[in-house]
Structure 1
């Protein structure tokens, strides 16, 4: 079974996903289309682009170097709380864990959608962590087994909510038959802003013409398109 960890270790596909994010102010983020938002990163209550960019860089270091939440707090906690005008350790943890989990989940998606992997393992199985903290969204989805090309995954790919710990792993056709295919598609919705498969907006690329000069300059500085 596979589950996302909030303590990162280096994972090239996850790191590539995160490095493709574009730092934006909330105002600029809200003006984007839904597809474009999947390739951007912002923070509610933070107006300074430089702080948003520093948060992105701190998360990138965590993914690249394998550091965890304690280092993230040390790197960026004071600046975030200064921007918010209040201490909020829970919110800092949420930013880190959501970002890391999205990146790890996207990395797994990149691996599982490799053509050779899809050919050998054409079915996906939803894997929730079952304990007292399991959400009412993920608990009934645990064990859902469907073809990898099912459109259901386009709106039910983890994370499905804040602090989501669920994952998806690929299996062979024989394993799918042994475990049992899910009849129909579970009618449970992901939380707002969650559930989209990482590759569903892969054809979108930011354009210099779409952003103010300072935003585009910050994007180019971190690697560009």
Structure 2
């Protein structure tokens, strides 16, 4: 396990502290550079669980807690949250502890070695095998490689290169080369194996010896964002020039079939604002503030402040139609077709992200003998919410009926799919 010396490792702490806890079903839900911005534990699909582990890892990094200390926290989280995890207690707790601490340590070292003055003094890097008895042959073969610090080989092979990998890379100076009589190496050619990313369907070519998801420099994305100005960051996000989160395009199952609803759920025009808000709250069995637990067990604060502006005035209408669909907007939360969670760039702060939960629901109403299709989308996170329900007459593409706004709805299906309604 890496030791930080007598002082806290500031760069490692900074790296981990900027991560946001993200619920996930499996290890592939967060992949590659996304780990620079999101903290996840495979199978921890409720915020309370993943936040608990984030706090435990944070305590280990900042306070130097041991794996034994971490296991005590692990047991408390499991008991309190009723988490049914895979694997043995000893193996799973050690995997979470070592993987996250080691990668934070590696990202912190990358931050230090990325300093321009440091790079000037140490223009080379050496790969060093950990000496583990159970080793990957490729890692042992890379032991002693000395390459320029900016050699593209490091973009993929900078440790850690897999679960349990304890290899490191060390900065080397020109004087070190002269003193040791060492020579610069030639980057070895890789053999590749195919890996199918189950989130996107993409077939990735992964160098042998590297676990899927580890084929990038720890902290590289974080470091790049740290050096960008607010204007550069905003422009880069809009152009897609930086790795933005949410992640896509995802290989997604089809959405459940539309739910038929009667016209009676729609509200009339011209009602007082309070009537529309009450119709929303009534769907939760409430007349005032309530903490509602959604289908995944996550709490969400429901109150009339969702429909007030900063001055406390009601902001009911949107495009002149939202008020009619307040019940359906609420049912996107109480009876969702899908629930997604995602990180998105916070355009007000370079390199920062915010977490959202997104509830989606499809509807079908008959009006004047015509099928009218629509969907509700409700987003909630960090005290900020947005919601919309829209209906548009169906249109046909050949013999196939295609609801309008389908492409927009599909664009909302991104991030980690936490729930999908089962159909009969």
**Structure 1: stretches of 5+ with no match in the other structure:** 218-225
Alignment equivalent of 2:356, drawn from 208, 211, 214: 211
- Structure exhibiting the larger radius of gyration computed from Cα positions: 2
Deviation at 1:33, TM superposition (A): 7.5
Task: Provide Cα deviations, 1:167-218, integer angstroms capped at 9, x if missing partner.
Answer: 111010232352221123352621111131134323357336772266546x
Task: From the superposition, tell whether residues 27 and 134 of structure 1 become closer, same or farther in structure 2 (CA, over 3 Å).
Answer: closer
TM-score under structure 1 length normalisation: 0.82
The answer to which of 20-29 and 144-153 deviates more is 20-29
1:46 corresponding residue in structure 2? 44
2:107 corresponding residue in structure 1? 106
- CA contact under 8 A between 1:22 and 1:40: conserved in structure 2? yes
Q: List aligned pairs for 1:17-96, cutoff 5 A.
A: 17-26=15-24, 35-80=33-78, 82-84=82-84, 88-96=89-97
The answer to which of 68-77 and 27-36 deviates more is 27-36
Task: From the superposition, tell whether residues 29 and 40 of structure 1 become closer, same or farther in structure 2 (CA, over 3 Å).
Answer: farther
Supply the distance in 2 between the matched residues of 1:80 and 1:172 (Cα, whole angstroms).
48
Supply the distance in 1 between the matched residues of 2:136 and 2:354 (Cα, whole angstroms).
41
Supply the distance in 1 between the matched residues of 2:129 and 2:221 (Cα, whole angstroms).
25
Determine which structure has the larger strand proportion and give its number: 2
TM-score under structure 2 length normalisation: 0.46
The answer to which of 155-164 and 29-38 deviates more is 29-38
Over the aligned positions, Cα root-mean-square deviation in angstroms equals 2.7
Supply the distance in 2 between the matched residues of 1:73 and 1:214 (Cα, whole angstroms).
33
- CA contact under 8 A between 1:8 and 1:63: conserved in structure 2? no
Supply the distance in 2 between the matched residues of 1:48 and 1:210 (Cα, whole angstroms).
13
Q: How many corresponding residue pairs?
A: 213
Supply the distance in 2 between the matched residues of 1:117 and 1:197 (Cα, whole angstroms).
18
2:213 corresponding residue in structure 1? 193
Please give the secondary structure, in 2, of the residue aligned with 1:155: helix
Task: Provide Cα deviations, 1:108-163, integer angstroms capped at 9, x if missing partner.
Answer: 11111111100000100011112412222321111111101111111111110111
- CA contact under 8 A between 1:126 and 1:166: conserved in structure 2? yes
Alignment equivalent of 2:186, drawn from 176, 183, 187: 183
2:416 corresponding residue in structure 1? none
Supply the distance in 2 between the matched residues of 1:172 and 1:112 (Cα, whole angstroms).
12
Task: From the superposition, tell whether residues 196 and 78 of structure 1 become closer, same or farther in structure 2 (CA, over 3 Å).
Answer: same
- CA contact under 8 A between 2:27 and 2:41: conserved in structure 1? no
Supply the distance in 2 between the matched residues of 1:18 and 1:191 (Cα, whole angstroms).
21
Please give the secondary structure, in 1, of the residue aligned with 2:170: strand
Supply the distance in 2 between the matched residues of 1:126 and 1:95 (Cα, whole angstroms).
25
Larger RCO, structures 1/2 (Cα 8 Å, 6+ apart): 1
Supply the distance in 2 between the matched residues of 1:92 and 1:103 (Cα, whole angstroms).
17
Deviation at 1:35, TM superposition (A): 3.8
Supply the distance in 2 between the matched residues of 1:211 and 1:6 (Cα, whole angstroms).
34
Please give the secondary structure, in 2, of the residue aligned with 1:169: strand
Supply the distance in 1 between the matched residues of 2:32 and 2:136 (Cα, whole angstroms).
25
Task: From the superposition, tell whether residues 179 and 15 of structure 1 become closer, same or farther in structure 2 (CA, over 3 Å).
Answer: same
Supply the distance in 2 between the matched residues of 1:42 and 1:142 (Cα, whole angstroms).
31
Supply the distance in 1 between the matched residues of 2:98 and 2:27 (Cα, whole angstroms).
20
Please give the secondary structure, in 2, of the residue aligned with 1:179: coil
**Structure 2: stretches of 5+ with no match in the other structure:** 192-206, 226-242, 245-344, 347-352, 358-378, 384-424
